A and B are shown apart, each in its own frame.
Chain A
Amino acid sequence: MRYLPLTPDDRRAMLATIGAASIDDLFVDVPEHARLSGPIDGLPNHASELAVERHMAALARQNVAAGDVPFFLGAGAYRHHVPASVDHLIQRGEFLTAYTPYQPEIAQGTLQMLFEFQTQVARLLGTDVANASMYDGSTACWEAIVMARRITRRGKAILSSGLHPHYVSVARTMATFTGDAIEATAPCLDAGPDTASLIDRIDDDTSCVVVQYPDILGRIGDLSDLAAACHAKKALLIAVVTEPVALGALKSPGEMDADIVVGEGQSIGVGLQFGGPYVGLFGCKQKYVRQMPGRLCGETVDADGKRGFVLTLSTREQHIRREKATSNICTNSGLCALAFSIHMTLLGEAGLRDLAAINHAGAVAAAERLARVPGVTLVNDAFFNEFTLELSKEARPVVRALADRGVLAGVSLGRLYPNEESLANGLVVAVTETTTAEDVETFATELEEVLA
């Protein structure tokens, strides 16, 4: 077996050193009844690389890869071009096969990268500090809600109707166990976000307002008034960014005084990967840093006075605090954070701004073209690279019909909100630098035929 270096001679010699007659002697503590008598049901014996690759490739071929068709899906996961050097660098064994940097003297590579990542994320989100990443955007969002409860000692979170419905689901699920109150409704097909309604609902029991920017329908609104309204009631404003490329063109939530900003970092460096692994971004104001969940990397010096980095404030974490930890989370998403950081370093500010401008310009052109299709109305007045169309027909069957015609047309609101009749005709369309003008034209032509 190619992954197992011991030879039969090695095994015999080692058993002799141990003083055991056979390998079974080492399993004496496993009672007879617990030992498996035969092989695992149905599992064949070991297989060659070639055979395994053949099997996996056959499964892969049953999927329609986004790069092979006109592709317009977003809604929390975006297809961007990732420079070739990103994947090359993250596959260096010293990054790929390292552990959490608990021994900082021999983990400065990971630690310095995390320090750079934290700084990049904080600057992008407009927060004072950021952590070394979370599992993904949805779990980061829930952790932010819990953090707001710890800070305000209040238990009611008001979720914007524009927050990704999966993020809402995660918060609702977790809240049933922690006793937090979650206020959330489905969105309406209005041109702008629900800022005014959120402001009206903040009261003295509110721990936080959670607002997505741009929201699930691609809409954007100024957060400044919302932040002020939250702070007037001593509640926190949590902003959620599922498309970080947007922050190359848009004011950051931190600039508009959000207290905690979380995000899904997948857009930069990570790729679609059918939903995971992704990388949660988490930033906040300096004054809340000790209430932050997740790992943190900090600067310090070594015994010779040289600059170095360590994991710090680890007393907040489960392996020290056990039942008093701020969160039960143990890992971050280190390798995805590395991919994010490398891609961001390659882009730099100039590149990020260009990338954002290209995304936005493409989306504006696509929205304009698609809105000319009979039976199609553009819902948004403002958007970044994603917008919502209202179709003359239910959108889900339209998406299926377009898939049959070789166009992956976007995410129907019927898929995201299966029980909301009023949203059934909504279609969320994302356009990135990977989308060509021909893709848009094909989409428009096929859509016109399907709607006719």
Chain B
Amino acid sequence: MSRYFTEDHEWVDVDGDTGTVGITDYAQGQLGDIVFVDVPDEGKTFAKGDDAAVVESVKAASDIYAPVSGSVIEGNAALGDTPGLVNEDAEGEGWMFRLTLSDPGELDGLMDEAAYEAFVAKL
């Protein structure tokens, strides 16, 4: 299993053709307390870069883009009651949705962890 990052601060863990998507710890820190997460329903399909989920903090709502194309297997139901999971564990329990990748080749355009860390360091 390997983890990829986007410049919009999403991460995706890939296991075979299944991807798990969330936002990075850096992103949650920037957003502050997350109060609501709107995760996509099963069966929804996205092209890379589509609006896929919404996270709301007290003062801002931010769109989460699909880091890769695919169709949704499940949204993280736990976020419905405990949106704060994104703050506590953004890159673990705070995942947003799983999807079946339709074009694994798209992963080539994403960053690995070291590249993302370097990217964030420059912000």
Interface residue ranges, A against B (CB under 8 Å): 290, 313-316, 320-321, 324
Contact = CB atoms under 8 A, between A and B. Distances in A.
B118 to A, nearest CB: 31
Interface in B4-63: 35-36, 38, 56-61, 63
B36 A320 contact: no
A290 B36 CA distance: 10
Contacts of A316: 61
- In order of increasing CB-CB distance, the 5 nearest A-B pairs are A315-B61, A315-B56, A321-B61, A320-B61, A320-B60
Given A290-B36, A315-B60, A320-B61, 10 more contacts: A290-B38, A314-B58, A315-B35, A315-B56, A315-B57, A315-B61, A316-B61, A321-B61, A324-B61, A324-B63
A324 B59 CA distance: 14
A313 B36 CA distance: 9
B92 to A, nearest CB: 25
Contacts of A315: 35-36, 56-61
Interface residues of B, number: 10
Nearest to A310: B58
Nearest to A324: B61
Contacts of A321: 61
Interface in B54-91: 56-61, 63
A408 B31 CA distance: 60
Nearest to A317: B61
Contacts of B60: 315, 320
20 contacts: A290-B36, A290-B38, A313-B36, A314-B58, A314-B59, A315-B35, A315-B36, A315-B56, A315-B57, A315-B58, A315-B59, A315-B60, A315-B61, A316-B61, A320-B59, A320-B60, A320-B61, A321-B61, A324-B61, A324-B63
A298 to B, nearest CB: 11
Contacts of A314: 58-59
A56 B123 CA distance: 61
A324 B56 CA distance: 13
A22 B63 CA distance: 50
B39 to A, nearest CB: 13
A316 B61 CA distance: 8
Q: Which of A315, A316, A321 has the most CB of B within 10 A?
A: A315
Nearest to A321: B61
B42 to A, nearest CB: 15
Contacts of A313: 36
B48 to A, nearest CB: 20
Contacts of A320: 59-61
A434 B36 CA distance: 49
Contacts of A290: 36, 38
Contacts of B61: 315-316, 320-321, 324
B56 to A, nearest CB: 4
A314 B38 CA distance: 15
Nearest to A325: B61
A299 to B, nearest CB: 15
A440 B33 CA distance: 62
Contacts of B36: 290, 313, 315
Contacts of B59: 314-315, 320
A314 B60 CA distance: 9
